Structure 1
Amino acid sequence: MKTTTINLDIPSLHQAYQSGELTPAMVTSHLLERARDFRDHNIWIHLATEEELTPFLERLQNKSPDEMPLYGVPFAVKDNIDIAGMPTTAACEAFRYQPEQHATVVEALVEAGAIPIGKTNLDQFATGLVGTRSPEPWGACRNSFDPDYISGGSSSGSAVATALGLVSFALGTDTAGSGRVPAAFNNLIGLKPTLGRLSVRGVVPACQSLDCVSIFARSADQAQTVLEAASKADPDDPWQRPAPIGRKPLPEKFRCGVPMANQLDFDGDEGAKALFAESVRQLESLGGEAVTLDFQPFLDAAKLLYEGPWVAERYLATSPLIQDQPDALLEVTRGIISQGAKGSAVDAFSARYRLQALKKQADQIWDQVDVMLTPTTPTIYTIEQLEQEPVARNSRLGTYTNFMNLLDYSAVAVPSGFLDNGLPLGGTLFAPAFQDEALLALASRLHPLATSTVGALEDPLHSPAMEGSEGTIDVLVCGAHLSGLPLNHQLTSRNAVLAETTETAACYRMYLLAGGPPLRPGLIRDEDGVSLPVEIWRVPADQFGSFVAGIPAPLGIGKVELADGRWVPGFICEPIGLEGAEEITHLGGWRGFLASR
């Protein structure tokens, strides 16, 4: 008989902690008991003991959810990421070691109040997208919906633990799709952050130059909460890189690239094809315009990951074990990784040149679109089907995932709905590097259109719409910078996008300033004023300074009150500018003035 569940949504847990209904000790004790109900899913390599959890619980004493964003939130960690005091195996017993320090990303989450419940199963040395390449005593990790189906990999246990309500979120890794594929197969959000966004110190390397720590979450907003807590600067990690000050915002009316029909592979699965088509329609309902693209540069780049010299990185990470104890690795894992010993420096540079050419072609496609959508995988297989063609079907699962880190893009897997057999599938939104928050914002609106529940649970999905405005500054414009007017190019040339058309509070007056061209209005706050139409443009933060520097006196940027009570940076006029100016308030704003001429 299965134990009852606790709603593990982060906001729900915090509310229960604040009210005293639950304590972190009650939650962890419940989850350790509940984990026993799913032993046959082969989720855990090491499930924490009550004793091992004691230090994490003790550090929460005299703290509260108001002080720690992840206070008492249980999470799982893929067993190629270190937790101090718990063994790391990478699903290879001969590789087992006991780390003395947390991986940087684990340390950041623990500092935020999160509690690691244990280490999860994976495809050995993170080599696979299936979740079945784990030897005894652990074995193939099984899908959270149907144990006859693959869970996806390599971060299999992390996805299944989240989908079955054993943790609130989980960490995986994603070099070739290992975070996105299991998310798609278990009805979860799977965030593959920008390469280098999160520290990989304390992570067993697969391809060190391409490895990412990934996040499995119940909803996009919770993925962002975890991302914020995990984004700890690590001066000792040579692979981490800081996020830029400015980010390109996603416009309200956005262009979404999709592959041409003959480049969409569903391995004959008509249900998967229909789910992807529905995801495209749902994006269009959110303001997207589907743009069909030639996807060949991305597909060609994907082939380089395992057919090129990057396999040598996997060999470099495991070569001592392969040379000294070859039988310690599964035959399929050893066979794949051993190919990395055969390449030459000439091969490496040749592939690097090829990748650079493909990236140039792929990056140019971004001039046509703001975001792209692909299936996360062509389809899903039973464990029996996979065993019939273990290498070919594993490779096929990486069709739309393998290129992502090679081309340096950010990505998030989003549930697409369910096949007739009850199994979930997902699509992947992706964009250039450091667009993580913008993608999560879009995912927050797309996700509830596909499903109303979380993972394999009956928990209702709560996915509040997010703005994705990190790295941007909103600027109110009221005159020549409005859409289609002469100075609007000063915004669009800086990658600014129209965020909102709205009105000021009812306390402003507008004047036609002397001089020109171009003609310019002056907006003045006056308690006897009126509400005037304006636009709010979202500007990348690193472009804001140059934009403001070009504003001539008597205009400047100050704070303007909107009709809904918000205050935003926007154009205002110094009082001296009213000398010789003509009041045009009665014309109802700048466009009203232009129409009257």
Structure 2
Amino acid sequence: MQSMTISALRAAYIAGELTPEKLIANIHERAEQFRDRNIWIHQLTIEELTPFIEGLAHKNIEDYPLWGIPFAIKDNIDLIGITTTAGCEEFKYTPEKSATVVANLINAGAIPIGKTNLDQFATGLNGTRSPFGACKNSFDKNYISGGSSSGSAVSVALGLATFSLGSDTAGSGRVPACFNNLVGLKPSRGLLSAAGMVPACKSLDCMSIFALSTEDANAVLSSAESFDEADEYSRKNPSANNTRYFGRQKLPLTLGIIDPSQLKFFGDENYQKAYADVIEKLETTEDITLVHVDYSPFDEVAKLLYEGPWVAERYLAAEELINTNPEAIFPVVRDIIAPGGEPKAHQLFSAQYKLQGFARTCKDQVNKFDALLMPTAGRLFTIEEMLAEPIKHNSELGFYTNFVNLLDLSAVAVPTSFTEKNLPFGITLIGDTFADRALLSIANYLETIFPTPEGTGKADKPRMELPAVATNKTVDVVVCGAHLEGLSLNWQLTERGGELIDSTTTSKSYRMYALAGGPPFRPGLIRDTENGEEIIVEVWRLPITEFGSFVAGIPAPLGIGKLELADGRWLPGFICEFSGIEGAEEITELGGWRSYMNTKSQ
């Protein structure tokens, strides 16, 4: 079967081996084989697809990153002219324009294949809560697909789309990824516009992306993201989270993992073993350090999502139906949503206060590491098991996911292995707001440690070699004078959260001068590759958010440039304009600023 990754399809198009028409025809033919999976609510007909295919005729493939790439859309997201049901026929409407993200993807050349099945009103993590039928796992029809973005995940895993859009409020963009051997990206809230998406919990919702690899997930994110005035929760993406930072993972990595005593697998020995194997492999990986974290505050946050007043937001989306035609709503979904009209305002504030208290503790833990790593789900249930205890098992599915949106975090689900029953297992990386590219980069590195096939395919997905560079959360700064540890200006680093990470020397290419004026007395480093010497320096790691204010306070003739260290690294550090050494005293022979200051105190 044709590889469905973006790079493979583009290569086939450019080589003339494939056309969008042939690909769509093949997808339609193979979709018939999987009709019993209940993937689609509406698969676009050839007539409905024609405008999108014809729209590619006048577009140069080199200029459109998703030219001819097929994608699926969860049916709570609008596609112009095609009904949106949110999994409920009585709710359906026909949008006059596409959701902002869908429009962005089509503008980049992508072709929408159809609208996919979901847990009704995006309420569930399992994929069985739909009047269109339970969506079945892509590997074994007896197992759940995960939800609520069920059809979106299964369509990609079975090769009926290259990528798909889902939504994520409590894990709906991650749990189905785990159960179907996919990458699942839950972006930072507001990075992808929610305009044109039926809300579940509007203050928490994120549109999500399912893809066959981290490369594809990043490519889709790059085309989909935009600031959107039509979305009240839209946010501008900071430069440090730009697509150009994808693949630039920091090595070595420090990952936080849940203390073993707090793990839960709900009786699934296969998933328990799969996770243990992942941890064992990572413990023997040279570039990775694992540190245990206390999961209890995250668990307390997770409980707030369904036990607290946020269910009132779900009520708002279906309020008219609940009041006029409650029987139209899927029974389990109705039982969850209907009580949402009851909470009082004071309950919301009380829950927000509680959330705020836990948020500080949780975010402090998140930001100690390059990412948190945990199982995406503790157990993969059969459909029969899920239907027998739908509320209990759905809650268990969200044990590792429910807290993420409440804390405004970003997350990437990554496939890692298969159980003895040949069912997929995966982990999730979690980071702070706008850590999306950093997480995708770490996930890209993990793909080299845990190679898996493309969805249900046989061949392993291709790998792209990417450089390892410093994280974009921090910047390392070389200091040589009054900013050294314990000296008069060191507070400018420590009060900005700076951390001393190395005491070393420059390469043998610098001369040092004591500049005129003071106090404070200041040195100047001048690069001289012929007559230079090694100079003692320190390397301090600053949060990237503090670097600008630090540099702004540096007086002339000093500035920040790149310094060469003895081990060959080039890092930002203090340099001096050549004109600044006029009237200065050369102190190169002393080897460093501390030695000079010692002579001043004698």
The question of a shared fold, defined as TM-score above 0.5 by the shorter chain, is answered with: yes
Please give the residue correspondences for 1:35-74 in structure 2 after superposition, counting only pairs within 5 Å. 35-74=31-70
2:78 is aligned to 82
Q: Which residue of 1 aligns with 2:271?
A: 272
Q: TM-score, normalised by structure 1?
A: 0.87
Task: State the partner residue of 1:122.
Answer: 118
Q: Which amino acid aligns with 1:266?
A: F
Tell me the secondary structure at the aligned position of residue 391 of structure 1.
helix
Distance 1:522 1:534 in 2: 11
Give 1:243 deviation, angstroms. Answer: 3.0
Q: Give the whole-Å Cα distance in 2 for the aligned partners of 1:491 and 1:458.
A: 52
SS at match of 2:113: strand
Code of the residue aligned with 2:24 in structure 1: it is T
Matching residue within 124, 140, 155 for 1:146: 140
**What amino acid maps onto 2:274 in structure 1?**
L
Structure 2 residue aligned with 1:207: 201
Residue 514 of structure 2 aligns to a residue whose secondary structure is coil
Instruction: Please say which of residues 228-237 and 53-62 is displaced more in the overlay.
Output: 53-62
Match of 2:168 in 1: 174
* Structure 1 gap segments, 5+ residues each: none
CA distance in 1, matches of 2:68, 2:471: 26
- Corresponding position of 1:547: 550
> 1:404 is paired with a residue of what secondary structure?
helix
For 1:553 and 1:405, the matched residues in 2 are separated by: 46
State which drifts further: 166-175 or 13-22: 13-22
Aligned pairs (5 A) from 1:518-557: 520=523, 522-524=525-527, 542-557=545-560
Q: Which amino acid aligns with 2:263?
A: L
1:194 corresponds to? 188
Displacement of 1:328 after TM fit? 1.3
User: How far apart are 1:83 and its partner, in Å?
Assistant: 0.4
Q: Which residue does the alignment assign to 1:423? A: 423
Q: Residue 439 of structure 1 contacts residue 468 of structure 1 at CA under 8 Å; is this kept in 2?
A: no
Deviation at 1:21, TM superposition (A): 2.6
* 8 A Cα contact 1:42 1:121, kept in partner: yes
Using the alignment, how far apart are the partners of 2:424 and 2:537 within structure 1?
A: 44
Distance 1:571 1:102, change over 3 A: same
Distance in 2 of aligned mates of 1:49 and 1:522: 69
Residue 119 of structure 1: how far off its partner (Å): 0.7
CA distance in 1, matches of 2:322, 2:253: 49
* Structure 1 stretch displaced more, 289-298 or 435-444: 289-298
- Determine the structure 2 residue equivalent to 1:263: 262
Partner amino acid for 2:162? Answer: S
State the one-letter code of the partner of 2:229. P
Match of 1:453? 453
Structure 1 residues 569 and 305 mapped into 2: Cα distance closer, same or farther (>3 Å)?
same
User: Match of 1:263, as an amino acid?
Assistant: Q
**CA distance in structure 2 between the partners assigned to 1:519 and 1:271 by the alignment:** 63
Q: CA distance change for structure 1 residues 261 and 113 in 2, over 3 Å: closer, same or farther?
A: same
Q: Aligned residues: percent identity?
A: 49
Give the distance between the partners of 1:26 and 1:418, measured in 2 at CA. Answer: 33
- The aligned counterpart of 2:24 is 28
Residue 235 in structure 1 maps to residue 235 in structure 2:
no
Deviations, residues 136-184 of structure 1 (Å, cap 9, x unaligned): xx31111111111111000011111111111111110000111100001
Match of 2:63, SS state, is coil
Aligned partner of 1:49: which letter? Answer: T
Change (3 A) 1:219 1:39: same
> Is 2:284 the partner of 1:288?
no
**Alignment deviations for residues 498-518 of structure 1 (CA, whole Å, 9 cap, x no partner):** 9999999x9x93112225988
Does the residue aligned with 1:176 lie in a helix, a strand or coil?
A: coil
After superposition, the C-alpha distances for 1:323-345 in whole angstroms (9 at most, x for unaligned) are: 22222111111111112122222
Q: How does 1:180-579 map to 2 (within 5 A)?
A: 180-245=174-239, 252-284=251-283, 285=285, 287-366=287-366, 368-464=368-464, 465=466, 477=478, 479=480, 494=496, 509-515=509-515, 520=523, 522-524=525-527, 542-558=545-561, 571-577=574-580
Residue 299 of structure 2 aligns with an amino acid whose one-letter code is L
Contact (CA 8 Å) 1:510, 1:524: kept in 2 or not?
yes
How far off is 1:293 after superposition? 2.1
In the alignment, the residues of structure 1 paired with residue 75 and residue 565 of structure 2 have an alpha-carbon distance, to the nearest angstrom, of 50
Give the stretch that moved more between structures: 442-451 or 569-578: 569-578
User: Could you say if the C-alpha distance between residues 567 and 156 of structure 1 is closer, same or farther in structure 2, counting changes exceeding 3 Å?
Assistant: same
Aligned equivalents of 1:526 and 1:361: distance in 2?
Answer: 49
SS in 2 for 1:405: helix
Q: State the one-letter code of the partner of 2:550.
A: F
Instruction: Quote how far apart the aligned CAs of 1:255 are.
Output: 3.3
Runs of 5+ consecutive residues of structure 2 not aligned to the other structure = none
Letter of the 1:555 counterpart: L
Question: What RMSD in Å do the two structures reach over aligned CA positions?
Answer: 3.8
CA separation in 1, counterparts of 2:232 and 2:452?
A: 41
Query: Partner amino acid for 1:524?
Result: R
TM-score, normalised to structure 2, is 0.86
Is the CA contact (8 Å cut-off) linking 1:88 and 1:99 kept in structure 2?
yes
Alignment correspondent of 1:14: 10
Call closer, same or farther: CA 1:117–1:590 in 2, change over 3 Å. farther
Listed one character per residue, the Cα deviations across residues 224-259 of structure 1 (whole Å, up to 9, x for unaligned) are 121121111111211212234557997534432222
Give the 3 Å change call, closer, same or farther, for CA 566–51 of structure 1 in structure 2. Answer: farther
1:161 is paired with a residue of what secondary structure? helix
In the alignment, the residues of structure 2 paired with residue 484 and residue 26 of structure 1 have an alpha-carbon distance, to the nearest angstrom, of 66
User: Is the Cα–Cα contact under 8 Å of residues 83 and 92 in structure 2 kept in the other structure?
Assistant: yes
CA contact 1:522–1:577 (8 Å) conserved in 2: no
Alignment-mate amino acid for residue 409 of structure 1: L
1:443-477 per-position Cα deviation (integer Å, ceiling 9, x unaligned): 11112322331211123223434668796686774
Match of 2:373, SS?
A: strand
CA distance in 2, matches of 1:72, 1:337: 39
Summarize the Cα distance change of 1:347–1:16 in structure 2 as closer, same or farther, 3 Å threshold: same
The residue identity in structure 1 corresponding to 2:91 is F
